[in-house]
């Protein structure tokens, strides 16, 4: 059984996707053009924001957010330690210092109560990751950032389509980023991402940075890079975006089945007023190795998101964090385990996952 059934998804939309690809091939507009503009307009409309800017990946979306916010050497950016490397990696990449904060055990997102301990006069921004498909309390984070005069960036790579009350993920922060990596809730057929903002000036800068700092053809005012979104990916995403809400209903149903049936583990919780898109269905198991072995033996794939907090990664060793410094991150990294999840997860397969998971060791 697949961990994420991308094949079943493709077969469901095959005709629409082939038509969209053929349109791009016939137009020969492979970079930019009408399809990309159409996708960006649809994205902005879906999220409920003024500017949605397609880019080459979730990682380049983060880089663009940091560049447009003028974050540079000497600045500090608070990030959760329990996340994919890209969140902190791009902070270092622009020369700034990532400052790791611990997560809450309630939703595995930044623990707002610990932020006061890590904020300093050098702090310029907070990147709040919406882990496993559920946003942190972005409204509270926004208030915190407003009081401290900080920029709030949402890393919504895992949460496209999620909500806090009526607000969609990627609509509330100063700048938000998402990834359309193939396995994400909205996935391309290759690398892709997007940046979102309501701020005209930030949007202008993001568009310039993703195109080599070019303000007019061959006139360059900034050091940028090639962070553009391929038009073919935009055309594919345009088709998949139309089906996203139907898929989110199915994901919610699969999540409910897991929540009602899995035993002997700590189940994920969705906060009151929040809607998760279940990018991952991740449980905590004390004896994770045994559970993984049991699943593997039955031919069931699983994944560990993530086995080591970023504060303990070799690449950040110069920052001087020691084991024990972020206890919740360390605890969750040792116990977390993601199970097969997608809108196309077959009922029989899910029953097998549950039965195997619940078997006595």
Angle between helices 200-209 and 58-68 (to 10 degrees): 120
CB of 356 to ligand PLP, least distance (A): 26
Which one among 9, 57, 197, 238 touches ligand PLP, defined by CB under 6 A? 57
**DSSP 8-state class, residue 228:** P
- SS3 call for 51: strand
CA pair distance 245, 275, nearest whole angstrom:
12
CB of 274 to ligand PLP, least distance (A): 17
Closest CA to 94 of 122, 133, 114, 65: 65
CA pair distance 18, 79, nearest whole angstrom:
40
CB of 254 to ligand PLP, least distance (A): 20
Q: Which is nearer to ligand PLP, 274 or 357 (CB)?
A: 274
Contact assessment for residue 112 and residue 141, using Cβ atoms and an 8 Å cutoff? yes
Residues that bind ligand PLP (rule: CB under 6 A) add up to a total of 15
Q: Which residue is nearest to ligand PLP (CB)?
A: 58
Which one among 71, 86, 141, 232 touches ligand PLP, defined by CB under 6 A? 86
- Which parts of 175-234 interact with ligand PLP (CB under 6 A)? 179, 181, 191, 193
CB of 156 to ligand PLP, least distance (A): 8
CA pair distance 24, 236, nearest whole angstrom:
10
Extract the tokens encoding 205: 């800068």
- SS3 call for 90: helix
Question: Could you give the string, one character per residue 105-144, with x where binding to ligand PLP holds by CB under 6 A and - elsewhere?
Answer: ------------------------x---------------
In terms of DSSP bridges, do strands 123-129 and 151-155 run parallel, antiparallel, or are they unpaired?
parallel
CB of 155 to ligand PLP, least distance (A): 5
> Which part of the chain contacts ligand PLP (CB under 6 A), choosing from 80-88, 160-168, 247-255, 261-269?
80-88
Q: Which residues bind ligand PLP (CB under 6 A)?
A: 57-59, 83-84, 86-87, 129, 155, 157-158, 179, 181, 191, 193
């Amino acid at each position: 059984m697949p961990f994420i059934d991308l094949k079943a998804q493709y077969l469901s939309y095959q005709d629409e996707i082939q038509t969209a690809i053929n349109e791009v091939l016939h137009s020969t507009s492979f970079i930019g053009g009408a399809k990309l503009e159409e996708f960006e307009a649809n994205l902005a409309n879906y999220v409920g924001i003024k500017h949605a800017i397609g880019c080459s990946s979730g990682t380049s979306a983060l880089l663009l957010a940091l560049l447009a916010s003028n974050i540079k050497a000497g600045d500090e950016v608070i990030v959760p330690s329990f996340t994919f490397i890209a969140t902190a990696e791009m902070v270092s990449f622009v020369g700034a210092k990532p400052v790791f904060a611990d997560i809450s055990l309630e939703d595995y997102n930044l623990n707002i109560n610990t932020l006061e301990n890590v904020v300093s006069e050098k702090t310029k921004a907070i990147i709040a990751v919406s882990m496993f498909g559920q946003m942190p309390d972005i409204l509270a984070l926004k208030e915190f950032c407003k009081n401290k005069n900080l920029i709030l960036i949402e890393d919504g790579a895992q949460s496209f389509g999620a909500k806090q009350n009526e607000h969609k993920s990627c609509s509330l922060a100063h700048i938000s980023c998402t990834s359309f990596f193939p396995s994400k809730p909205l996935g391309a057929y290759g690398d892709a991402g997007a940046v979102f903002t309501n701020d005209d000036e930030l949007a202008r800068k993001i568009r310039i940075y993703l195109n080599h700092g070019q303000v007019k053809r061959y006139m360059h005012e900034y050091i940028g890079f090639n962070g553009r979104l391929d038009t073919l990916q935009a055309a594919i995403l345009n088709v998949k975006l139309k089906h996203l809400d139907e898929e989110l209903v199915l994901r919610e149903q699969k999540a409910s089945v897991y929540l009602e049936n899995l035993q002997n583990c700590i189940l994920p919780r969705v906060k009151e007023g929040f809607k998760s898109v279940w990018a991952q269905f991740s449980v905590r198991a004390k004896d994770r190795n045994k559970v993984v072995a049991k699943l593997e033996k039955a031919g069931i794939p699983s994944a560990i998101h993530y086995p080591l907090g970023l504060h303990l990664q070799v690449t950040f060793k110069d920052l001087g964090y020691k084991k024990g410094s972020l206890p919740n991150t360390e605890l969750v990294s040792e116990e977390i385990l993601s199970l097969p999840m997608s809108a196309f997860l077959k009922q029989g397969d899910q029953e097998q996952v549950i039965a195997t998971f619940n078997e006595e060791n």
